[in-house]
Amino acid sequence: MHLAPAQSGCDPSRPTGCHAALRIAAALVAIAVILAGCTTPAPRPAPRAPSEPTHVPIPPPTLPPPKDIEAIPDAVPRPEPRSARGNPPFYNVLGKRYFVLATADGYHERGVASWYGPGFHEARTSNGEPYDMYAMTAAHKTLPLPTYVQVTNLKNGRSVVVRVNDRGPFKDSRIIDLSYTAAAKLDMLREGTTFVEVRELTPVADVQEESAPATALYVQAGAFSAESNAANLLAQLRSKGISKGFVRADEINGKPMYRVRIGPIPSVPEFDRVLARLKSLGIADAQLALD
């Protein structure tokens, strides 16, 4: 049986007809596939979770309500045992070693006071108590905790009694860090620092009620038994541009003493500047002196 040739779209009587038709058909199929790929939507990526913030702001501490500063009484010295915390034989801060005194008896020092307040309110002090900016307290580097001291502002004569329960301030020439209330009573909040005299009070000591007169303040660069040595140091200071120096002659136990002093010093920043200048000249034992 003879069958008719399949309808392939080509003429078998033409040698090249079928090949050309097949090539065209194949090309059409390829184009259709490409077009189908172009019209097929690409899959969408899965949604990304929102990234976590790299820093969560911490709300500022809630400050205590203001109080009537003048109505807050001074600390009252009373017998207390040495604190279990904050009284090691020595400790290190910022590369410097501090030795805690065995006793506060007879402690008396003059220097610069600073104060600390809201930023530390309710933080733990060195003896473990919470810091209260409205309490009559203070920080000291070496006094036993607790110790009661009388602090006198040498610029205006005001005095307060505070209880030392913390460590600090760890800055050259600063000898005590007072609470906000103690600083307010001494009228030193605005300037931040002032010259003070710190004197230990035993529990039976009488608290001074009246203000002491203001005192002239100086920096003592040296003290000599020979007047010529004092004159030489004074000449050296003047050659370095320190013009407010002078020699004060005193007598101690019947022997003359010649003190080289600079001043009067009007402010704590000026005191710091003079002290730094003297240290740069190799005079490391310069100190605050009173008239």
pLDDT by residue (tens digit) across 94-110?
A: 888 999 999 999 999 99
Question: Residue by residue, what is the 3-state secondary structure of 90-128?
Answer: EEEECCEEEECCCCCCCCEEEEEEEECCHHHCCCECCCC
Instruction: Assess whether pLDDT exceeds 90 at residue 184.
Output: yes
Please give the average per-residue pLDDT across 179-203, as a whole number. Answer: 94
pLDDT value at position 291? 67
pLDDT by residue (tens digit) across 48-98?
A: 433 333 333 434 445 565 678 889 999 999 999 999 999 999 999 988 899
* pLDDT band, residue 3 (cuts 50/70/90): very low
pLDDT value at position 210? 52
pLDDT by residue (tens digit) across 124-179?
A: 999 999 999 999 999 999 999 999 999 999 999 999 999 999 999 998 889 999 99
If DSSP codes are grouped into helix, strand and coil, which group holds residue 177? Answer: strand
pLDDT value at position 19? 41
* pLDDT band, residue 35 (cuts 50/70/90): very low
pLDDT value at position 202? 82
User: Which are the contacts of 275, defined by CB distance < 8 A and separation ≥ 6?
Assistant: 172, 173, 219, 286
Contact 109, 144 (CB under 8 A): no
